[in-house]
């Protein structure tokens, strides 16, 4: 600091924590080391349900571009003593790299040991979630479950939002997705249901969610079938009204309905309808 420059208490307060220049100087990033795969266990509380096919990490057999972040077994078990950990380290960020190393024949992995992220459960969960969310490695339901677990651990949604550097609205929207019926969660994961629609459906009971979703699917299907049927595109609304009017006069003038249907359906379709009626 140059002579005469003044620093307010607010400036000092904002420099504490993740943005602290003092922490950056006194707590340097640990140097990577290489350990055998047998010394590593993937995080039992990894927010990912599925690691994927790992094809994008096939090159790890020859070259590892990024070290995995791990904590020691002792540090991990201090937080989760009931978890079964038999190796020296637990991989917090890099579980896909570890799985790819096993799959593609690598025998070791570069790691960075950082027990600081295991100082409490909230920090550990935040570290596990942050990498996946920032890199978009989670599908939306995995993301929602991970966010919910952090909210439970923090006790408040706004604190969880701060730890993830997200807005309160983002956290609220992700948590709402867990209120979806199971089949709609599956549709969301497959990309068949948009997040915006999902958030709306999540506000109503499960049975109504499914009913609305099925109705939307039926409507979309009917629209698609109509687009594929040129005769429907050419059919004037007046013909539809004529059939409806003829139905109302069927008891007194059945021939009127026959004429309306002939005009509405055409000869071939009318013949098909007659054949079906004769069979019934």
Are 147 and 164 contacting, i.e. CB atoms less than 8 angstroms apart? yes
Burial class (CB in 10 A: 0-12, 13-18, 19+), 34: exposed
Q: Is the pLDDT of residue 14 over 50?
A: no
- At residue 252, the pLDDT reads 73
Q: Is the pLDDT of residue 7 over 50?
A: no
Its pTM stands at 0.58
Say if strands 108-113 and 89-93 run parallel, antiparallel, or are unpaired. Answer: unpaired
- At residue 266, the pLDDT reads 80
Q: What percent of the chain has pLDDT over 90?
A: 30
Over the stretch 125-161, which tens digit does the pLDDT of each residue have?
A: 988 887 666 665 677 888 888 899 899 989 999 999 9
Instruction: Report, as an integer, the average pLDDT of 160-168.
Output: 89
Name the H helices within the chain. Answer: 9-14, 21-26, 73-79, 95-103, 121-134, 140-154, 157-164, 168-176, 182-189, 195-201, 206-227, 230-234, 237-248, 254-265, 267-279
- At residue 122, the pLDDT reads 93
Distance CA 146, CA 133 (A): 10
Q: Is the pLDDT of residue 20 over 50?
A: no
Q: How confident is the model at residue 114 (pLDDT cuts 50, 70, 90)?
A: very high
- At residue 29, the pLDDT reads 65
Q: Name the CATH topology of 14-137.
A: 3.90.1530
Most confident residue range from 95-104, 183-192, 215-224: 95-104
- At residue 100, the pLDDT reads 93
- At residue 232, the pLDDT reads 53
Which of 3-12, 114-123, 135-144 shows the lowest per-residue confidence on average (mean pLDDT)? 3-12
Q: How confident is the model at residue 5 (pLDDT cuts 50, 70, 90)?
A: very low
Name the H helices within 15-69. Answer: 21-26
- At residue 159, the pLDDT reads 92
Q: Which two tokens stand for residue 125?
A: 């969960």
Over the stretch 228-244, which tens digit does the pLDDT of each residue have?
A: 655 555 555 556 767 77
Over the stretch 51-77, which tens digit does the pLDDT of each residue have?
A: 777 888 899 988 888 899 999 999 999
Mean pLDDT rounded to a whole number for the chain: 80
More confident residue, 195 or 12: 195
What are the boundaries of each domain within the chain? 14-137, 182-227, 235-279
């Amino acid at each position: 600091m140059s002579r005469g420059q003044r620093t307010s208490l607010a400036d000092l307060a904002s420099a504490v924590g993740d943005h602290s220049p003092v922490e950056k100087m006194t707590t340097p990033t640990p140097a990577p080391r290489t350990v055998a795969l047998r010394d590593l266990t993937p995080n039992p509380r990894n927010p990912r349900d599925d690691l994927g096919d790992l094809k994008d990490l096939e090159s790890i057999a020859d070259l590892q571009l990024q070290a995995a972040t791990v904590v020691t077994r002792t540090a991990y078990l201090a937080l989760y003593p009931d978890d079964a950990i038999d190796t020296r380290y637990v991989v917090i960020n890099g579980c896909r790299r570890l799985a790819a190393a096993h799959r593609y024949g690598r025998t070791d992995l570069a790691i960075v040991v950082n027990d600081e992220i295991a100082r409490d459960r909230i920090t550990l969960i935040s570290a596990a979630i942050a990498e996946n969310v920032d890199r978009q490695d989670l599908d939306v339901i995995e993301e929602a479950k991970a966010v919910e677990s952090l909210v439970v651990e923090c006790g408040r949604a706004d604190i969880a939002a701060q730890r993830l550097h997200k807005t309160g609205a983002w956290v609220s929207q992700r948590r709402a997705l867990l209120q979806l019926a199971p089949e709609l969660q599956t549709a969301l994961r497959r990309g068949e249901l948009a997040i915006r629609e999902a958030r709306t459906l999540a506000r109503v009971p499960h049975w109504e969610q499914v009913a609305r979703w099925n109705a939307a699917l039926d409507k979309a299907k009917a629209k698609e079938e109509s687009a594929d049927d040129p005769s429907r595109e050419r059919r004037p609304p007046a013909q539809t009204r004529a059939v409806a009017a003829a139905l109302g006069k069927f008891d007194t003038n059945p021939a009127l309905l026959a004429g309306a249907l002939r005009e509405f359906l055409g000869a071939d379709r009318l013949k098909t309808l007659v054949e079906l009626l004769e069979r019934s």
